[in-house]
Structure 1
Amino acid sequence: MYRFAHLSDCHLGAQKQAMLQELEGKAFRMAIDDALDNDIDFMIIAGDLFHSNLPNMKTVKMATRELRRVRDEGIPVYVNYGSHDYSPSHTSMIDILESAGLIENVVRPVPGRKLGLEFTEDETTGARITGLSGRSRNLEKDYYMMLDREALEVEEGFKIFVFHSAITQFKTEEIADAESIDLNLFPRGFDYYAGGHVHKRSTHNEDGYGCMVFPGALFGSYARDLEDTARGEMRGYYLVDFNETLRGLEFREIMPAGFEYIEVDVDGITAREAMRKIESCIAEHDVRGRVVMLRIRGGLSSGKTSEIDSGVIRRILRDRGALTVNINRHGIRPPEIEKVRVSETEIPRIEEKILREKLAGLGVKNMKLKSASGLKMASEVLKRIRNEKREGETREDYEQRIIEDALEVLGLEIEGGDGA
C-alpha cells in the first residue's frame, strides 16, 4: 500500500496583515508536519503554491525551508502552475524551486498536431502523474480543447491527473458565474484527479472517471475564505492510499488558530443604536485567541454609516483577546433619502427662481438682462432650446434651428448671415 498527500491553493504570500501572515505560514508548516507524520511516499500541490509568481523573499524563505524538509526525507513534491503562480516565460518561483531540486513540475507538453503530455513516473510507487496548469481568466481552456485525450487514456498503471480549474458540472451556486472547464474535455480512465483552484473542498465520482478531488484552500487568500472558515468550512488536505487502484481517502483538517463568526443585523435602527447592538453581540462571543470575522448588514433608519466606528469595534474585540479582526461593513446601507415630488404646476415657478438667481449672479454691465424683461427673455430661450427634433430633420439642421431660434429671442443674428 502506498500513500500520497494532495494539497492545493496554499496561496503563500497572500496575507498582508502580520498576524494573518503568521497563521498562513503556520498552516503550511502544520500540513507538512502532518503529512510527514503519516508516512507519505510523495506529495502533490495542485497549483497556487504562491499567491504570485514572484512572491516576497520572506515568503520564499519560509516555503523553501519547509519544502527542503520534505526533500530531505526523500519524498518528491509534484506540482503544476496555478492561475496565480503561472508564468508563460518560466520566470515563476515554481521554476526556481524546481531548478533547486525541491519540487517537480509534472506538466510536460509534447508538441504535435494535438497537445500530448508526458507522464512523470514516481520511482517508489510507480504512479504515473501528468496534468495541465491553470491560467488567469481560464485561458487553460485552449489546452483542454487541443488535448490528445486518447493517448493519455490508453496509458497503463495507476494514473493521476493534476489540474487547476473549476469543472462546469461540479460548480455550486456560489461560483455559478466562475469560468470553468467542461468535464468532457478531461481525459477519462485516470484513477485520481488532483484538483485545485476551487477554494472549498469537495469530492466527485463520475462514470468513466476516477475520483475527482478538490482539497480547497489550505488557509485562504481572501477575506471571504476566512469568513467561510469562521462559518464552519474545514481547511486542510487529503491523504490518499492506493496500490493498483485507489484504496482510501482521508481529509486532514489543518487549523492554525480558532475562528469566530459574528453577524449583526442593524436594519431599521439608528447608527447609535447599531453601535450599542454590535457591542452587545460581541459580548456574547468568546473571541480569546481567535480570528474574528464580523459582518454588519442592514439599512439604518437615521444617522451616518461613519458613526459605526470600525476602530472602536476593533479595539473592543482586541481588548477581549481576539488575535485579529476583519470587519465586513459592505452590507450597511445609509438612511433612504425621501424623494421630493414636484407637481407640473410648480415647475415653472422653480425654473423662474433658478433663472433669477443665475441672472443676478452674472457679471454683466447690461442691467436689462437682470431685469424682469431679462428673466422673460431667458425663460423664452430655455423654452426654445427644449424643442424636440422634428421627424426627418437631420442633427445638423436641428442644431441650426435651435441656435437661430435662441438668437431670434435675444434679438441677434448669426454672424455672416443676411443683413449682418
Structure 2
Amino acid sequence: MYRFAHLSDCHLGAQKHPDLRELEFEAFRMALDDALQNDVDFMIIAGDLFHSNIPNMETVKRATLELRRIREAGVPIYVNYGSHDYSPSHTSMIDILESAGVIDKVVRPIPGKKLGLEFTVDEKTGAKITGLSGRSRTLEAEYFMKLDREALEAEDGFRIFLFHSAITQFKPVDLADMESVDLNLFPRGFEYYAGGHVHRKGCYIEEGYGPIVYPGTLFGSYAGDLEENARGETRGYYLVKFTDRAREPEFREIRPSEFEYIECDVTGKNSQDAYHQIGREIAGHDVTGKVVMLKIRGELSSGRTSDIDSASIREKLESMGARVVQINRYGLSTREIQKVRVVESDVPRLERRIFREKLAGLDIRNRKLVEEGDSIAVELLRRLENEKAPGENKSEYEKRIIEDAEDVLGLDLGGDGT
C-alpha cells in the first residue's frame, strides 16, 4: 500500500495582513508536516502554490526551505502551474524551483496533430502522473479539446491526471459564473484525478473515472475564503492510499487558527442605534486568539454608514483578545444616500461582475470582446498587480508589464508600448 498527499491552492503570498500572512504559511507548513507523519511516498500540489508568478522573495525563501526539507526526506513533490503561477511571457517561480531540484513539474506536452502528454513515473511507487496546467480565460478548454485522449487512456498502470480547472458538472451553484471544462473532455479511466482551482473541497465519483478530487484552498486567498472558514468550511488536503487503484481519499483538516463569524443585521436602525447593536452583539462572542470575520449588513433608517466607526469596532474586538479582525460592510446601506449595492465579497467575482455590467453599456463590434471582455479585463488587472521584482529596474519592469498586457490583449506592440 502506497500513500500520497494531494494539496492545491496554497496561494502563498496572498495575504497582506502580517498575522494572516503568518497563518497562511503556517497552514502550508502544517500540511507538509502532517503528510510526512503519514509516511507519504510523494506529494502533489495541483496549482497556485504562490499567489503570483513573481511572488515576494521572502515568501519564496520560506517556501523553498520547506519544500527542500520535504525533498531531503526522500519525498518527491509533483506540481503543475495554476492560473496564478502561470505567465506565457516570463519564467515562473515554479520553473526556478524545478531548476533547483526542489519540485518536479509534470506537464510535458508532446507536439503533434493532437496534444500528447508525457507521463512522469514516480520512482518508488511506479505511479504515472501527467496533466494540464491552469490557463487564463478560455485557453484551458482549448487545450483539453486538443488532447490525445486515446493515447492517454491506453497507458497502463496507476495513472494520476493533474489539472487546475473547475469541472462544469461539479460547480457549486453560487459559482455558476466560474469558467469550467466539461468532464467529457477529460481522458477516462485514470485511477485518480487531482484537481485544483476550486477553493472548496470535494470528492466526486463518476462512472468511467477514478475519484475526481479537489482539496480546496489550504487557507484562503480572498476575504470570501476567510469568511467561509469562519462559517465552518474546513481546509486541508487529501491523503490517498493506493495499490492498483485509489482507496477512498481521506481529508486531513489543517487548522492554523480558530475563526469566529459574527453577523449583524441593522436594518431599520439609525446609525447610532446600529453602532450600539453591533457593540452588544460582539460582546457576546469569545474571540480570544481568533480570526474574527464581522459582517455588517442592512439598510439604515437614518444617518450615514460612515457613522458606524469600523476602527473603534476593531479596537473593541482586539481588546477582547481577537488576533485579526476583518470587517465586511459591503451589505450596509442607507435610505438617505443611494448607493450601488455590492453583494459579492469574493474579489474575482466582484471584478468580473463590474466589468460585465460596464461592457453591457458599450457598443462593441468586436465579437471576442463581447464574449470574453470580462475575462480579459480581469486577467489584465491581475497581471498589472504584479510588483517589481528584486533587482528589476524601472524600464525592465515597465517592459515586462507591457509584454504581459500584449499577451492578454493578443496584441504585438513591439515591446515598447507604442
Q: Place the TM-score, normalised by the shorter chain, in its bin.
A: 0.7 to 0.9
Counterpart residue number, 1:177: 177
- Counterparts of 1:134 and 1:106, CA distance in 2: 13
Counterpart residue number, 2:234: 234
Deviations 1:251-298 (A, max 9, x none): 100010000000000001100001001000101110000000000000
- Counterparts of 2:87 and 2:42, CA distance in 1: 25
2:86 equivalent to 1:86: yes
Residue 33 of structure 1 deviates from its aligned partner by: 0.6
For 2:37, the aligned partner's letter is D
For 2:110, the aligned partner's letter is V
- In 2 relative to 1, CA 75–337 (structure 1 residues): closer, same or farther, beyond 3 Å? closer
SS, match of residue 247 in structure 1? coil
2:251 equivalent to 1:289: no
For 1:73, the aligned partner's letter is A
Counterpart residue number, 1:344: none
Counterpart residue number, 1:2: 2
Counterpart residue number, 2:267: 267
- Counterparts of 1:46 and 1:148, CA distance in 2: 21
- In 2 relative to 1, CA 84–337 (structure 1 residues): closer, same or farther, beyond 3 Å? closer
For 1:3, the aligned partner's letter is R
Residue 138 of structure 1 deviates from its aligned partner by: 4.0
Counterpart residue number, 1:40: 40
- In 2 relative to 1, CA 197–138 (structure 1 residues): closer, same or farther, beyond 3 Å? farther
- Counterparts of 1:303 and 1:139, CA distance in 2: 49
- List aligned pairs for 1:391-410, cutoff 5 A: none
Deviations 1:192-234 (A, max 9, x none): 0000000000010111111000000000000000000000000
- Counterparts of 2:251 and 2:10, CA distance in 1: 16
Residue 183 of structure 1 deviates from its aligned partner by: 0.5
Counterpart residue number, 2:67: 67
Residue 87 of structure 1 deviates from its aligned partner by: 2.0
Counterpart residue number, 1:248: 248
- Counterparts of 2:238 and 2:331, CA distance in 1: 35
**Structure of greater Rg:** 1
2:123 equivalent to 1:123: yes
Counterpart residue number, 1:108: 108
Deviations 1:177-197 (A, max 9, x none): 110000000000000000000
Counterpart residue number, 2:160: 160
SS, match of residue 249 in structure 2? strand
Counterpart residue number, 1:25: 25
- Counterparts of 1:247 and 1:184, CA distance in 2: 23
- In 2 relative to 1, CA 279–331 (structure 1 residues): closer, same or farther, beyond 3 Å? same
Counterpart residue number, 1:411: none
- Counterparts of 2:171 and 2:250, CA distance in 1: 22
2:317 equivalent to 1:325: no
Normalising by structure 1, we get a TM-score of: 0.80
SS, match of residue 181 in structure 2? coil
Residue 336 of structure 1 deviates from its aligned partner by: 4.1
- Counterparts of 2:231 and 2:136, CA distance in 1: 28
- In 2 relative to 1, CA 47–337 (structure 1 residues): closer, same or farther, beyond 3 Å? closer
2:316 equivalent to 1:306: no
For 2:210, the aligned partner's letter is G
SS, match of residue 208 in structure 2? coil
Normalising by structure 2, we get a TM-score of: 0.80
Cα RMSD for the two superposed structures: 1.0
- List aligned pairs for 1:129-144, cutoff 5 A: 129-144=129-144
User: Which has the higher mean CA deviation after the structures are superposed, 273-282 or 328-337?
Assistant: 328-337
Bigger relative contact order (CA 8 A; separation at least 6): 2
- List aligned pairs for 1:371-382, cutoff 5 A: none
Residue 4 of structure 1 deviates from its aligned partner by: 0.1
- Counterparts of 2:337 and 2:74, CA distance in 1: 67
Counterpart residue number, 2:148: 148
Residue 329 of structure 1 deviates from its aligned partner by: 0.1
Residue 91 of structure 1 deviates from its aligned partner by: 0.5
Percent identical residues: 70
Deviations 1:133-185 (A, max 9, x none): 00122421111011100000010000000000000000111101110000000
- Counterparts of 2:336 and 2:200, CA distance in 1: 37
- Counterparts of 1:219 and 1:212, CA distance in 2: 21
- Counterparts of 1:89 and 1:129, CA distance in 2: 26
Contact 2:303 2:336 in 1 (8 A): no
SS, match of residue 267 in structure 2? coil
For 1:325, the aligned partner's letter is V
SS, match of residue 54 in structure 2? coil
2:76 equivalent to 1:76: yes
Structure 2: runs of 5+ lacking an equivalent: 339-418
For 1:192, the aligned partner's letter is Y
For 1:15, the aligned partner's letter is Q
- In 2 relative to 1, CA 113–264 (structure 1 residues): closer, same or farther, beyond 3 Å? same
Residue 335 of structure 1 deviates from its aligned partner by: 1.9
SS, match of residue 326 in structure 2? strand
For 1:218, the aligned partner's letter is L
For 2:162, the aligned partner's letter is V
2:182 equivalent to 1:220: no
